[in-house]
Amino acid sequence: MPTKIVATAATAIAGAVLASLSLSACGGSNSSGNLEAATDAAKRYVQIIAAGHRTELAQLEQLEVDGDEQSQAVTQLAAAKERIEVTSVSAATATTKTAAPGAMGFSSFARTTVSYRLAGHDRTATLVLGVPRGGSASKASGWRVLTPMLGRLSWTTPALSGYSPEVYIGAVRQDVHGNVDQPLYPGVYSARATYGGLYDSTPVAATVIAGKTTPGPGFTFHATAKTKQIVDQAVAAAFRSCAGAAATSTCPVMNGDLARSLDLSGAWWGGLSLQPKIRIRENAVTLSGGQFVYRHGGRPERIDFTGAGGFTLTGDKEPTINRDDFYLEVRSVD
């Protein structure tokens, strides 16, 4: 009998040691109550992301490990066109391994899976949470998210005559010159771009998925009313220079093939009888459907024409149109 009692005591001691090792391997005492607190912290975290209320978004930084990426992404989340709809948060389970930045300062770790719906698709994201050393694992407020629920937009912004566009998400200008991977919380964002107010893009939707890098949206640019006004005035001034007995090289007719087939001496210019349609693509200009009156030998003749030309962009930080470097020539229509 004494032998059996000793064996039972040894077994109990071994069990206690194993239990202790098991708790240590979990990075701390992750009891069921502590894991419930971790689950509650995860739920609160994703609810804030889903709601996107400005008054609550500041709490995200309190729930996460410190990082510049998150603070920048919080500003953008408030302007998202569509945010996630959380469908479930799994019960947190203890974990021992995480490569999350700052994890060395934590003593307990837990993992949970978030299921959410965005832009008509069901998706999942994994959150790893931890308790700072010396903190309380029994309260939801004691847990921090070590792997923020972020995705990335990979921007490749096209250059126009050496100028990079200004990119905006909502009304907030982004620092995404060149090739940049921008961290953002999951959501659908409205993005647009502009070149100094001379060319604007149509707003496009960009969907960010947690844990994924998504190519940034492609922009299609069009000339703004400001650019159209400048070009319209430049075209009109170019044709006005055709009048008189000595047309200058700024006269579009003097620069095209018509200069070789027409006698452009004397007062040959009779004005535009049909205003050309002007199209602008980047810094190139095309004319179509134009017609001018050609006077020669007392017999006015109407000549149909097309045209092409362009201008240069100047400026230090943003482009401006150089009005003194506007070139235009016209061609006859067969």
Rounded (5°) CA angle 141-146-149 = 100
Residue 68 is predicted with a pLDDT of 65
- Region 277-293 average pLDDT: 94
Q: How far apart are CA 261 and CA 155, in angstroms?
A: 51
Question: Which one is predicted more confidently, 122 or 11?
Answer: 122
Burial class of residue 84 in the structure, from the number of CB atoms within 10 Å of its CB (0-12 exposed, 13-18 middle, 19+ buried): buried
- Regarding whether 318 and 210 lie in a shared domain, the answer is no
Rounded to two decimals, the pTM is 0.76
Instruction: Name beta bridge partners: 189.
Output: 206
Residues 317/241, Cβ–Cβ less than 8 Å: no
* Residue length of the chain: 334
Instruction: Check pLDDT > 90 for residue 260.
Output: no
CA distance 32 to 69: 32
295-310 mean pLDDT: 90
Q: What is the DSSP letter of 64?
A: B
243 and 303 part of one domain: yes
The pLDDT assigned to 210 comes to 96
**Residue of 77, 268, 23 whose CA lies nearest to 188:** 77
Cα-Cα-Cα-Cα dihedral sign, residues 47, 133, 72, 100: negative
In this structure, is residue 19 part of a structural domain?
no
Give me 27's structure tokens: 């990075």
Nearest to 310 by CA among 324, 294, 334, 327: 327
What single-letter DSSP state applies at residue 91? Answer: P
In terms of residue numbers, what domain contains 162?
Answer: 152-221
Instruction: Average the pLDDT over each of 118-127, 183-192, 321-330 and give the range with the smallest value.
Output: 321-330
- The answer, yes or no, to whether residue 45 has pLDDT greater than 80, is yes
Per-residue pLDDT averaged across 219-244, rounded? 92
- Whether the CB-CB separation of 133 and 105 falls below 8 Å is answered with yes
| Residue 265 within a domain | yes
Together in a domain, 191 and 262: no
pLDDT of residue 30: 66
Nearest to residue 213, comparing CAs of 190, 192, 184, 189? Answer: 184
Residues 31 and 139 in one domain: yes
In a domain, 169, yes or no: yes
Q: Count how many domains the chain has.
A: 3
Q: Is residue 255 part of a domain?
A: yes
Which CATH number goes with the domain that contains 185?
2.60.40.1120
Residue 8 belongs to some domain of the structure:
no
Q: Does residue 104 sit in the same domain as residue 198?
A: no
Residues 306 and 334 sit within 8 Å (Cβ to Cβ) = no
Helices (H), 116-275: 225-240, 252-255, 258-261
Residues 193, 126, single domain; the answer is no
Among 187, 203, 221, residue at a domain's last position: 221
CATH of the domain at 104: 3.10.450
Type of residue found at 233: Q
Cβ–Cβ contacts within 10 Å for residue 23, how many?
A: 15
Q: Which of 31-35, 83-87, 187-191 has the lowest mean pLDDT?
A: 31-35
Are residue 254 and residue 210 in the same domain, yes or no? no
Give the pLDDT band of residue 144 (cuts 50, 70, 90): very high
Give domain status of residue 18, yes or no.
no
Residues 6+ apart with CB under 8 A from 197: 224, 226, 318
DSSP for 134-193, please give it.
Answer: T--SSSGGG-EESS---EEEEEEPPPBTTBPPEEEETTEEE---SEEEEEE-SEEEEEEE
The predicted structure's pLDDT at residue 66: 65
Examine the domain organization and report whether 63 and 89 are in the same domain. yes
**249: in domain:** yes
Statement to judge: residues 244 and 295 lie in one domain: yes
Residue 172 and residue 101 share a domain = no
Let me know if residue 133 belongs to a domain.
yes
Domain boundary pick from 221, 251, 267: 221
| Average pLDDT estimate for 89-107 | 82
Write the CB contacts of 166 (distance below 8 Å, at least 6 apart in sequence): 173, 193, 194, 195, 196, 318
Same domain for 259 and 282?
Answer: yes
Domain boundary among 148, 182, 210: 148
213 and 274 in a single domain? The answer is no
